[in-house]
């Protein structure tokens, strides 16, 4: 079987090249993300945020590798229905057909892994550079090579290749030879029982997660938003063949003339081809729009929440001691953001968890005078001496934690549990008197100041950097948006590029077996330019399908995260990333259109007479 698989590969290498490419890029992306994640996890507290981001990146990378490789292999098998039917006609059994396809998957997996491992080293350098430039890891951070990654990469490459062809090989082996040759009956049926099952299952899961995320805390809502987008994308990809005929009819209404009718006929006739081409585009749009919309909505909700919480007029930023108690000032609430490491213990006094984060060193009475929100449990009035206020869900009131602040290690009693917040502010509150003086002196302090009616910023001239609360909140929101952009770039940067390459790859595979079809169209009277334009029009309709379904998948995420953010912020919050959507829409039409034109030009280069009677 391996020899027959190799002969098939050498004979139809343009069709298999796309499958090798998807395996190669999938292995490289997963390998790179895993190596950097392991190196960051062992680097200590400096890269805690990077570990979280790399965990998300690795999860999305694995999903994309499995999804894209599976859909690509299924598409290549579907493109070869006639070859497999001929094999059945000359005596090949169902088991032999399945073994042939699995042998091909094994061969392509080996080749993809062989190229993917060295490519992964290049991807790792790019990904590390990206993390350094965005400030998520220190400039000296360097991921280390691990010998065991070779086994993991081989498992990923071979595993996703074989898994990707299993379902397709089972379907191909069940098709009756004459039906496959005629492309009628079961051979032409795209919406199989498996498509219906997984489509409905994942769609129900996406809707359920959308409903749950509306009542989840911010961290849970963000995690659910990622899974919602993935589930919705898988569901709509499985159900996309239902949309292709409707898109064909719409194309026939919009695109008048023979080329429009030809594009409509091709869409209706090539439902599987159109659905397979749209699949990676659905996932790309769903992930990009969902993640951008989630981060933007969370950021806007945090800004609304912050404006409702702070009761002040000015913010004064100082380093070291500074006296702001001057005429005209009603209240001053200093807040110093210091890094902390908080350790919690189980019932048997064993270390159970270590939380790296930031604490705001405050004066409780002054803080209460300039902030509206109050703890869910306990009281800030008890925040004196060796005490701490923690985020919701961390530890209950009355428990004890150990906090490392600078070089000091303190046992602190939890006296208050803070409400859930979107702001991404301090994870803990500490009384200023327990924070070591050198830490306070070396860290900028932002003081919320309330002034008497008629007083202004002039009373605080020379005592620090003075700005209005509105400007300070706007600047904080802009910094938060920059951080969100960096997070988006890390999570979706290379993964989005992989999905985009998969889109191009799907278009190329779709055109690989259409040379005879294009030749027949030219023989019937169409010019080469008209055939190319018809192919581009058809690809435009397929692109529209991918964009619409991807947008619907992203919508499920935005609905859930908007409800969660609105519940916490106290008012409706939804930010739709229109700028990104515009770029994605224009880019998708440009990339798919250009690729379709190039492949159609290549397929129509030979004389049509030489192809009309040729075997496919």
Q: Answer yes or no: do 137 and 60 share one domain.
A: yes
Q: Answer yes or no: do 33 and 122 share one domain.
A: yes
Q: 6 pLDDT exceeds 70?
A: no
Q: How many domains does the chain fold into?
A: 3
In a domain, 197, yes or no: no
In a domain, 460, yes or no: no
Sign of CA dihedral 431, 432, 435, 439: positive
Q: Answer yes or no: do 294 and 425 share one domain.
A: no
Least confident of 58-72, 535-549, 574-588: 58-72
In a domain, 303, yes or no: yes
Q: What's the pLDDT tens digit per position in 131-147? A: 888 877 788 888 888 88
Q: Answer yes or no: do 243 and 299 share one domain.
A: yes
Of all residues in the chain, the percent with pLDDT exceeding 90 is 12
Mark which of 171, 189, 207 sits at the end of a domain: 189
Q: Answer yes or no: do 304 and 318 share one domain.
A: no
Q: Tell me the average pLDDT of the chain.
A: 81
Q: 504 pLDDT exceeds 90?
A: no
- Residue 98 is predicted with a pLDDT of 76
Element (H, E) at 62: helix 48-79
In a domain, 209, yes or no: no
- Residue 66 is predicted with a pLDDT of 84
Q: Answer yes or no: do 164 and 279 share one domain.
A: no
Q: Answer yes or no: do 445 and 588 share one domain.
A: no
- Residue 256 is predicted with a pLDDT of 67
Q: What's the pLDDT tens digit per position in 423-476? A: 756 778 999 888 888 888 888 888 888 888 877 677 677 777 888 888 988 888
What count of other Cβ atoms lies within 10 Å of the Cβ of residue 245? 14
| Cα–Cα distance, 343 to 341 (Å, whole number) | 7
| Cα–Cα distance, 86 to 102 (Å, whole number) | 18
Q: Answer yes or no: do 23 and 145 share one domain.
A: yes
Sign of CA dihedral 589, 27, 129, 43: positive
Q: What's the pLDDT tens digit per position in 361-401? A: 899 988 888 888 888 889 888 999 899 998 877 788 888 88
- Residue 616 is predicted with a pLDDT of 46
Q: Answer yes or no: do 352 and 256 share one domain.
A: no
In a domain, 196, yes or no: no
Q: Which of 232-236, 266-270, 483-487 has the highest mean pLDDT?
A: 232-236
Q: Answer yes or no: do 295 and 180 share one domain.
A: no
Mark which of 427, 455, 483 sits at the end of a domain: 455
Q: Which of 45-59, 158-172, 488-502 has the highest mean pLDDT?
A: 488-502
User: Are the beta carbons of 430 and 341 closer than 8 angstroms?
Assistant: no
Beta bridge partners of 402: 343, 411
In a domain, 465, yes or no: no
**Which domain, by its residues, includes 383?**
314-455
Q: What's the pLDDT tens digit per position in 63-86? A: 888 888 888 877 777 766 666 666
In a domain, 568, yes or no: yes
Pairing of β 387-390 and β 408-417: parallel
| Cα–Cα distance, 217 to 101 (Å, whole number) | 47
In a domain, 153, yes or no: yes
Q: Answer yes or no: do 581 and 479 share one domain.
A: yes
Of all residues in the chain, the percent with pLDDT exceeding 70 is 85
Q: Answer yes or no: do 277 and 347 share one domain.
A: no
Q: 614 pLDDT exceeds 80?
A: no
């Amino acid at each position: 079987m391996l020899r027959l698989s190799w002969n098939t590969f050498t004979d139809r290498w343009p069709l298999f090249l796309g499958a090798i490419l998807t395996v190669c890029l999938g292995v490289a992306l997963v390998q790179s993300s895993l190596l950097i994640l392991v190196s960051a996890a062992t680097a200590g507290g400096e890269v805690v945020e990077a570990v979280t981001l790399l965990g998300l990146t690795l999860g999305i990378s694995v999903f994309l590798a499995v999804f894209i490789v599976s859909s690509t292999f299924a598409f290549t098998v579907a493109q070869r229905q006639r070859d497999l039917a001929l094999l059945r006609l000359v005596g090949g059994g169902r088991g032999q057909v399945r073994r042939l396809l699995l042998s091909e998957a094994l061969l392509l997996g080996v080749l993809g892994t062989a190229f993917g491992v060295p490519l992964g080293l290049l991807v790792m350098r790019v990904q590390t550079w990206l993390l350094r430039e965005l400030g998520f890891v220190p400039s000296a951070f360097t991921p280390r090579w691990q010998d065991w990654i070779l086994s993991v990469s081989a498992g990923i490459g071979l595993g996703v290749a074989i898994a990707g062809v299993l379902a397709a090989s089972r379907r191909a082996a069940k098709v009756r030879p004459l039906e496959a040759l005629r492309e009628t009956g079961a051979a032409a049926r795209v919406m199989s029982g498996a498509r219906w099952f997984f489509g409905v299952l994942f769609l129900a899961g996406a809707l359920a997660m959308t409903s749950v995320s509306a009542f989840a805390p911010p961290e849970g809502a963000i995690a659910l938003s990622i899974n919602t987008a993935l589930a919705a994308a898988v569901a709509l990809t499985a159900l996309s063949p239902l949309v292709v005929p409707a898109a064909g009819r719409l194309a026939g209404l919009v695109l008048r003339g023979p080329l429009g009718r030809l594009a409509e006929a091709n869409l209706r006739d090539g439902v599987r081809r159109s659905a397979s081409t749209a699949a990676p585009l659905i996932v790309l749009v769903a992930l990009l729009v969902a993640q951008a919309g989630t981060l933007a909505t969370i950021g806007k909700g945090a800004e609304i929440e912050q404006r409702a919480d702070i009761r002040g007029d000015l913010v004064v930023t100082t380093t070291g001691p500074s006296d702001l108690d001057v005429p005209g000032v009603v209240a001053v609430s200093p807040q110093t953001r210091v890094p902390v490491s908080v350790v919690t213990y189980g019932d048997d006094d064993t270390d159970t968890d270590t939380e790296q984060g930031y604490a705001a060193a405050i004066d409780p009475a002054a803080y209460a005078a300039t902030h509206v929100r109050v703890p869910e449990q306990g009281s800030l009035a008890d925040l004196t001496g060796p005490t701490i206020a923690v985020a919701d869900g961390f530890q209950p009131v009355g428990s004890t934690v150990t906090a490392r602040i600078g070089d000091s290690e303190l046992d602190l009693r939890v006296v208050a549990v803070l409400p859930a917040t979107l702001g991404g502010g301090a994870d803990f509150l500490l009384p200023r008197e327990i924070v070591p003086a050198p830490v306070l002196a070396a860290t900028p302090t932002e003081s919320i100041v309330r002034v008497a009616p008629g007083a202004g910023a002039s009373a605080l001239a020379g005592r620090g950097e003075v700005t209005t609360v509105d400007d300070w909140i706007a600047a904080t929101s802009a910094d938060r948006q920059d951080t969100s952009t960096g997070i988006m770039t890390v999570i979706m940067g290379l993964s989005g590029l992989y999905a985009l390459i998969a889109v191009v790859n799907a278009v190329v595979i779709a055109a690989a077996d259409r040379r005879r079809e294009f030749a027949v169209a030219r023989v019937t009277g169409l010019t080469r330019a008209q055939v190319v334009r018809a192919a581009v029009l058809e690809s435009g309709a397929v692109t529209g399908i991918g964009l619409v379904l991807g947008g619907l998948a992203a919508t499920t995420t935005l609905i859930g995260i908007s409800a969660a953010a609105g519940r916490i912020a106290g008012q409706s919050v939804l930010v739709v990333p229109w700028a990104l959507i515009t770029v994605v829409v224009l880019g998708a039409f440009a990339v798919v259109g250009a690729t379709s034109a190039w492949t159609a030009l290549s397929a129509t280069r030979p004389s049509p007479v030489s192809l009309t009677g040729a075997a496919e």
